[in-house]
């Protein structure tokens, strides 16, 4: 592990060092690509006057610096999903995107805070092909960086009267964010409890996924709806839709962690090595033959799983066609969410861009 030396970090306005980055996936929906520049600009402006070394760790997490502290010139390759979802919700209700940017920044920083902490919890050494914050600077400083990102998310919602024309809605916005973050922590707690169990039901999994992932996606949409001036029924409708999209998204992430590349950028197979009970694995424990259930149980009760164990788990899942069953479940969750969201009695404005992104998350063939 490399120690962090604050003195080697330089301001972002000094000469940049160019590094190669992988471009965003070709399947990225065009609305995310369209929103990327204003989102990135808003995020950078929010950090522009923060020079204390702790913020450099956060900028590293955001993809703006390398391990040595040098600024990176290559644009961040993945879409800022949570910020973009916030803006798409605002846009769908006819709101001004500029007014929603503080909420979009808050949604994105809240997501980044959860990723920093998740990397510590999971002992993940890399994410998106680069070392994680805790692996470079240690878990204690990573916790500081994650907590700082959460605090900054709240500050973005407060802003000033001049910066945020919706400052009078700050209490509602803060309640939305804090409730979502608390639910997310509950979901992460439950997911860790599941690591030591093999009797996790589909119902328990879906509840966990709704809290761990759905809460923050629903929050992003509700923040955007609030910024657009939506009434309470519309805000709650957007949040409910986002929560269900989040559940489908988590199911797809479980599939990608075993057969593809997760959007989250985690290492292939890491969830199984951490004994996480993803949706395909839960299906196997429910539907496999007794001998296969015993074999899976023996694997997950090992003190430490190894890469060959991941291959064996996947082979058992392939026997059950668990990948396609999980994808079908994600499709079903998404279709039901859309049906509730755009029912004839609930006109919700211009939804094409939001629905395109939601479907990409919930029913994708391959992630970034």
pLDDT of 163 reads 54
261 lies in a domain? yes
Give dist(CA 75, CA 64) in Å, integer: 8
The CATH number that applies at residue 328 is 1.10.600.10
Of the ranges 14-23, 90-99, 140-149, 236-245, which one carries the lowest mean pLDDT score? 14-23
CA 308 vs. chain centroid, Å, equals 28
pLDDT of 4 reads 37
18 lies in a domain? no
Q: How far is CA 70 from CA 11, 18, 128, 148, in A?
A: 8, 9, 18, 21
11 lies in a domain? no
Is residue 38's pLDDT more than 80?
A: yes
> What's the length of the chain?
368
pLDDT of 263 reads 80
The verdict on pTM exceeding 0.85 is yes
Average pLDDT over every residue of 52-72: 94
- Domain extent for 273: 29-362
pLDDT of 23 reads 33
Give dist(CA 82, CA 84) in Å, integer: 5
Is residue 366's pLDDT more than 50?
A: no
Of the ranges 2-11, 95-104, 155-164, which one carries the lowest mean pLDDT score? 2-11
pLDDT of 364 reads 76
pLDDT digits (tens, 9 = 90+) for 187-196: 999 999 999 9
Stronger pLDDT, 172 or 247, i.e. the higher one = 247
Give dist(CA 335, CA 328) in Å, integer: 11
Is residue 280's pLDDT more than 60?
A: yes
13 lies in a domain? no
pLDDT of 346 reads 61
Is residue 8's pLDDT more than 80?
A: no
Give dist(CA 53, CA 11) in Å, integer: 10
Average pLDDT over every residue of 18-23: 31
21 lies in a domain? no
Q: Per-residue confidence at 281, pLDDT binned at 50, 70, 90?
A: very high
Of the ranges 16-20, 60-64, 130-134, 241-245, which one carries the lowest mean pLDDT score? 16-20
**In contact, 133 and 109? CB cutoff 8 Å:** no
pLDDT of 297 reads 94
Can you tell me whether residue 47 is helix, strand or coil? helix
| Total domains in the fold of the chain | 1
Helix boundaries (H) for the chain: 30-47, 53-61, 81-92, 97-122, 133-137, 139-158, 170-194, 202-209, 215-227, 232-259, 270-273, 279-287, 290-300, 307-319, 322-341, 352-362
Stronger pLDDT, 269 or 326, i.e. the higher one = 326
pLDDT digits (tens, 9 = 90+) for 288-336: 999 999 999 999 999 999 999 999 999 999 999 999 999 999 999 999 9
Is residue 26's pLDDT more than 50?
A: no
Average pLDDT over every residue of 252-273: 86
6 lies in a domain? no
> Which residues, in sequence order, are bridge partners of residue 65?
71
Give dist(CA 222, CA 242) in Å, integer: 8
367 lies in a domain? no
pLDDT of 69 reads 87
pLDDT digits (tens, 9 = 90+) for 155-189: 999 874 555 555 567 788 999 999 999 999 999 99
To the nearest whole number, what is the mean pLDDT of the chain?
87
Is residue 1's pLDDT more than 60?
A: no
1 lies in a domain? no
Per-residue b/e over 148-175, b at no fewer than 16 CB within 10 Å?
Answer: bbbebbbebbebeeeebebeebeebbee
């Amino acid at each position: 592990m490399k120690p962090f030396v604050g003195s080697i970090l330089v301001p972002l306005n000094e000469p940049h060092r160019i590094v190669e980055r992988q471009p965003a996936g070709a399947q990225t929906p065009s609305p995310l690509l369209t929103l990327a520049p204003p989102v990135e600009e808003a995020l950078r402006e929010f950090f522009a006057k923060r020079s204390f070394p702790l913020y450099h760790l956060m900028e590293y997490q955001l993809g703006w610096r390398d391990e040595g502290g040098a600024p990176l010139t290559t644009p961040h390759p993945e879409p800022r999903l949570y910020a973009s979802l916030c803006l798409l919700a605002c846009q769908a209700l006819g709101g001004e995107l500029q007014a929603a940017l503080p909420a979009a920044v808050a949604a994105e920083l809240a997501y980044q805070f959860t990723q920093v902490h998740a990397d510590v919890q999971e002992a993940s050494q890399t994410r998106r092909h680069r070392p994680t914050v805790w692996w470079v600077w240690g878990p204690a400083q990573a916790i500081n960086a994650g907590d700082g990102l959460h605090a900054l998310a709240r500050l973005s919602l407060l802003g000033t009267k001049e910066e945020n024309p919706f400052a009078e809605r700050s209490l509602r916005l803060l309640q939305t964010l804090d409730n979502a973050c608390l639910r997310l922590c509950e979901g992460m707690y439950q997911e860790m409890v599941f690591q030591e169990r093999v009797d996790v039901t589909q119902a328990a999994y879906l509840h966990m996924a709704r809290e761990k992932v759905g809460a923050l996606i629903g929050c992003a949409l509700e923040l955007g709806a609030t910024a657009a001036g939506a009434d309470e029924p519309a805000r709650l409708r957007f949040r409910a839709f986002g929560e269900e999209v989040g559940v489908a998204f988590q199911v797809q992430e479980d599939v990608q962690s075993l057969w593809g590349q997760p959007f989250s950028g985690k290492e292939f197979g890491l969830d199984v090595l951490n004994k996480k009970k993803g949706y395909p694995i839960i299906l196997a424990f429910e539907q496999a033959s007794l001998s296969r259930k015993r074999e899976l149980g023996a694997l997950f009760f090992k003190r430490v799983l190894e890469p060959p164990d991941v291959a064996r788990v996947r082979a058992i899942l392939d026997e059950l066609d668990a990948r396609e069953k999980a994808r079908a479940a994600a499709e079903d969750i998404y279709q039901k969410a859309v049906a509730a969201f755009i029912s004839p009695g609930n006109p919700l404005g211009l939804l094409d861009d939001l629905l395109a992104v939601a479907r990409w998350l919930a029913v994708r063939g391959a992630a970034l």
